[in-house]
Amino acid sequence: MISRVIELGAYTRLTTLKFKRIKNTSFIKLEDAQELRVFSELAYRNIGVRFPIHFLQNSKTFAVLNQRGNICGGFVLAPAEHSRVIDSLPDEGMSVLAESFPKYKESMFEITGLWLCRSQRSKTLAVRFWTKLYKEVCRMKRSHFIFAYSSKKAKLGEIYSVVKPKRIFKGYTKMMPGMIEPDDEVIEVGSVKMAHLAWVTQLSFLYKRLIKGRSKEKRVIYH
């Protein structure tokens, strides 16, 4: 009986600590050049892309700060005129984009640079992270968003499929600054309208897919 009480007390303290850690996590928009450099380096360690500072400055770069004020995740929203995904499209991909979305320069933005340090991950924080992304997508006031993912990551494709995206290109894209090597990618365009609908009709699916288990791949830990 005593041992059970001790175990319960330890569990309660651990749960309280986790709750405080999540509660003290915050989201901020980065604008300072030094902060953007830190974000770029950490993104490189976690997802293998070192975003140029001028790209981050011309975009909306959001960071997740842990309870000690250190960057432990984030995402980037870039207007079409500064989109790396669009710039990486080969000629055939650009033709499809221009034909399907003639006014893409005014109506589109890019979603990229999504990452979250493994040591900070939790179901609650995952919900907060994706909710924050959704809110900022709505605030872009553009009708469509473009995104890319490696063709090797089929599970990402399953998640993105809820917005019924338009396939623009699949194959090796142009090398962009900050990339280690060319990648076989899938580039698609989704609509904000469908994102609204998916947030309501596919919430259960998204909840299960977006917050289920931690990745087995090693991540950088930030204290």
* 78-92, 95-109, 194-208: least confidently modelled range: 194-208
Higher pLDDT, 10 or 48: 48
Q: Which residues contact 1 (CB under 8 A, 6 or more apart)?
A: none
Residue 168 pLDDT > 70: yes
Question: Is there a domain that residue 102 lies in?
Answer: yes
Q: What is the pLDDT of residue 205?
A: 61
Question: What tokens appear for 153 in the block?
Answer: 């990551």
Question: Is there a domain that residue 67 lies in?
Answer: no
Q: What is the pLDDT of residue 218?
A: 43
Mean pLDDT, range 107-133, rounded to an integer:
86
Question: Is there a domain that residue 143 lies in?
Answer: yes
Question: Is there a domain that residue 184 lies in?
Answer: yes
pLDDT per position as a tens digit, 20-76: 444 567 999 999 999 999 999 999 999 999 999 999 999 999 999 988 889 999 999
Residue 14 pLDDT > 90: no
Q: What is the pLDDT of residue 36?
A: 97
- Looking at the chain, list the stretches that DSSP marks H as alpha helix, in order from N- to C-terminal side: 2-23, 33-47, 53-57, 84-87, 91-100, 104-107, 123-139, 154-160, 192-201, 203-211
Question: Is there a domain that residue 120 lies in?
Answer: yes
Domain that holds residue 136: 73-211
| Contact criterion met (CB below 8 Å) for 146 and 154 | no
The torsion angle over the Cα atoms of residues 132, 215, 154 and 165, rounded to 10 degrees, is 0
* 51-60, 116-125, 155-164: least confidently modelled range: 116-125
In the structure, what pLDDT confidence band is assigned to residue 184 with cuts at 50, 70 and 90? very high
Mean pLDDT, range 99-123, rounded to an integer:
90
d(CA 86, CA 189): 11
Question: What tokens appear for 127 in the block?
Answer: 């919900």
CATH at 101: 3.40.630
Total domains present in the chain = 1
* 4-18, 31-45, 145-159: least confidently modelled range: 4-18
Question: Is there a domain that residue 147 lies in?
Answer: yes
Question: Is there a domain that residue 93 lies in?
Answer: yes
Question: Is there a domain that residue 136 lies in?
Answer: yes
